[in-house]
Structure 1
Amino acid sequence: MTSQAADGPETVVASRRSKITPERELEFFDAALDQIRECGYDALSMEGIATSTRCSKSTLYRQWKTKPQFVAAALRAKHCPRFGGIDTGSLAGDLRAAARAAGERSDDDTRLLQALGPALMQDDELQRALHDVLVGPELCALQAMIQRAVDRGEIAADHPVLEFVPAQLLGMVRVRPLLERRYADADYLERYVEVALLPALGLSEAT
């Protein structure tokens, strides 16, 4: 049997996929997420991405069989945790820093969440990808901040407000656009932490 005959379909597919460089993949993903933010998930099409990035539609379909698979891959590839690395030495300082970090990207993240909303209810893969990218890492980082504060003896482990901290901080990012038609920027979130979250935790503003 010749080496050519030994190459099966999986080998051929692998060689085709290898032609897409990581840099080229990021171009596809950036174009897709930008279009979702501007026009919504339903308006996104593989054909449109192929046209805007000047590639073959078949190239996209060989790598990602469906639009949900493609968008899920884009979400995971563009993963950029906001709260990772925050450790100021105090829970109040950590929450202030988290508020600033969340506010700096709240417009892009909120627009993406709003655009994906209906599709998330229908596609489990998109839900998992969004949780992996925008929810899970931030939740883990906030929980780590709280645990460090407990370990330092800064706050009691059974403080009744602690379990609600992630929902309060992340929830404000989503709620303000609905209530005021404005994004929750860094100034807004920092003020929320100072006047609402820290007092609820029994931490002074000077902490």
Structure 2
Amino acid sequence: METATTRRTRITPEREAELYEAVLDLLREVGYDALTMDAVAARTRSSKATLYRQWGSKPELIAKALRHDKPTSLEDIDTGTLRGDIHAMMARSDDCQMERDTALMRGLFRAIHDNPELHQALRNLLIEPELTGLNDLLRRAVERGEVAADNPALEFVVHMMVGGFAARDLIEDRPVDRAFLAAYIDAVILPALGV
């Protein structure tokens, strides 16, 4: 039995980066619900058929644009200490990028809850790779003896990190910046892990 394959047009990496940037700009401007494939096609001077052929759906396109905007992985971070690793991970974004990321995520939170396809696409392309990288950092800390293997906070590190991002904006009406994250890591996350 033969399986059908989707024919994909060859898009240069430069053109792909242009498309992703346009998608993220539109997402910041109008939010997820008002962002349409027609608007993306018009903004990028491409056909809607090409967009669907390349990405299949709006959630997939948005998830890939977000992943492209955050191309670094955590695999190459290994400073020799958990504190160094977590601070190195946070240092990969500057204050301007963090503010832009916070604005994007704020706009996506509601859409994620209302759209299971978007939620799944973001989990597959953005969340799971980040969790894997963070879990690798934590595993190495346990192997080095920095963190006890039975420390109950290990399973909540990602929750604490996401909480720091969300709470600053919600409570203080201020975007997260590097200074806040450094203080938060040292005052909340590392002590919870016994570091």
Query: What does 1:118-133 align with in structure 2 at a 5 Å threshold?
Result: 118-133=110-125
Match of 2:76, SS state, is coil
Structure 1 residues 91 and 61 mapped into 2: Cα distance closer, same or farther (>3 Å)?
Answer: closer
2:191 maps to 199
- Identity, % of aligned positions: 45
* Cα-Cα RMSD: 2.6
1:95 maps to 86
Match of 1:41, SS state, is helix
Alignment equivalent of 2:167, drawn from 161, 172, 175: 175
Q: Which runs of 4+ in 1 moved over 4 A?
A: 76-79
Match of 1:80, SS state, is coil
User: How many angstroms does 1:188 deviate by?
Assistant: 0.3
Structure 1 residues 146 and 189 mapped into 2: Cα distance closer, same or farther (>3 Å)?
Answer: same
User: How many angstroms does 1:202 deviate by?
Assistant: 2.6
2:34 maps to 43
Tell me the amino acid that sits aligned with residue 87 of structure 2: R
Tell me the amino acid that sits aligned with residue 32 of structure 1: V
| Structure with greater Cα Rg | 1
Quick check: 1:100–1:189 contact (8 Å CA) kept in 2? Answer: no
Structure 1 residues 70 and 97 mapped into 2: Cα distance closer, same or farther (>3 Å)?
Answer: closer
User: How many angstroms does 1:31 deviate by?
Assistant: 0.6
Structure 1 residues 107 and 83 mapped into 2: Cα distance closer, same or farther (>3 Å)?
Answer: farther
> Bigger shift: 75-84 or 44-53?
75-84
**TM-score between both structures, scaled by the size of structure 2:** 0.82
User: How many angstroms does 1:20 deviate by?
Assistant: 3.7
1:70 maps to 61
Where does structure 1 lack aligned partners over 5 or more consecutive residues? 1-9
Where does structure 2 lack aligned partners over 5 or more consecutive residues? none
User: How many angstroms does 1:142 deviate by?
Assistant: 1.8
- CA displacement 1:179-199 (0-9 Å, x = unmatched): 111111111010112222223
